[in-house]
Amino acid sequence: MPANPRILAFRHVAHEHLGLLARIAEGEGMACEYVDWFTERDKQPEWTDADAVAVVFLGGPMNVDDTEHFPFLAREQEIIQQAVRRKIPVLGICLGAQLIARALGARVYPAGVKEIGWHAVETTPAAAGDPLFKHFRPVETVFHWHGDTVDLPEGATFLARSDRVMNQAFRYMDFVWGIQFHVEVTTKMVTEWVEVTENAREIQALSPDVTAAKILEKTPLFLPRLHDLGRATLGEYVRRAKAL
């Protein structure tokens, strides 16, 4: 392991950051460094020559195939492919999971419904043997904010589903995870997300059952358990990254 191990995180909008994962990594003696594409679109990180022991791809409002407006999305898919070849642990959250699926040759497309707020996911039988998802109960309520979904990459292990969107989580080989929902959020993050102008418009376009007020009302009910899951799953990811 490098003398100064770090996690390199690719961020697409300022408010979708590492959250709980940053705290866990720092507690394990690992630094976190961001590549902020929204301010540094032409930055070409030479992470393979540095001391990064893991890469994380965070969420964002764009579609993975919109490389004309967001050319860095193509670069990120190349980085994912490089990481897989080098056996460097990869974690994708929301858009990040979609980027992983696309980089591995799978289809990414509109889900036909937007999952926003607190909704249940159900784990598959394979989750019980997964290093990260073994901490999940058969049904958990987690935080969502996505409108696209993915087909499972060839050879991937299916880990979680929901009633609305089938492919909620998957593992590729034994060091790459894609998770459509958010285990990294904090109370502050949820509050910020519902207040972002574009996000507020998305909420207003949903059914009356989903409002910013209702999301915030449910947050203290479900966030403590999500934090337990986050500490367990993200902690496993960080420790595995350190061990490789």
Whole-number percent of the chain with pLDDT over 70 = 93
- Active site positions, annotated: 94, 182, 184
Better pLDDT: 142 or 40: 142
pLDDT tens digits for range 85-133: 999 999 999 999 999 999 999 999 999 999 999 999 999 999 999 999 9
Per-residue pLDDT, averaged over 155-159, amounts to 98
For the record, the structure tokens of 7 come out as 């996690």
pLDDT tens digits for range 180-192: 999 999 999 999 9
The Cα 231–Cα 211 span in angstroms is: 28
The Cα 150–Cα 194 span in angstroms is: 24
DSSP state string for 153-199: PTTPEEEEE-SS-S--EEEETTTEEEESSBSS--HHHHHHHHHSHHH
| Among candidate residues 25, 180, 38, 185, the one with its CA nearest the CA of residue 99 | 180
Q: What is the pLDDT of residue 49?
A: 46
Q: For residue 139, is pLDDT > 80?
A: yes
Strand-pairing partners, residue 57, are 10, 92
Per domain, the residue ranges of the chain are 6-243
Homologous superfamily in CATH for domain 6-243: Class I glutamine amidotransferase (GATase) domain (3.40.50.880)
Alpha helices in 57-94 (DSSP H): 72-86
Per-residue pLDDT, averaged over 32-57, amounts to 74
Residues 6 or more apart whose Cβ sits within 8 Å of residue 99: 57, 64, 73, 76, 77, 80, 92
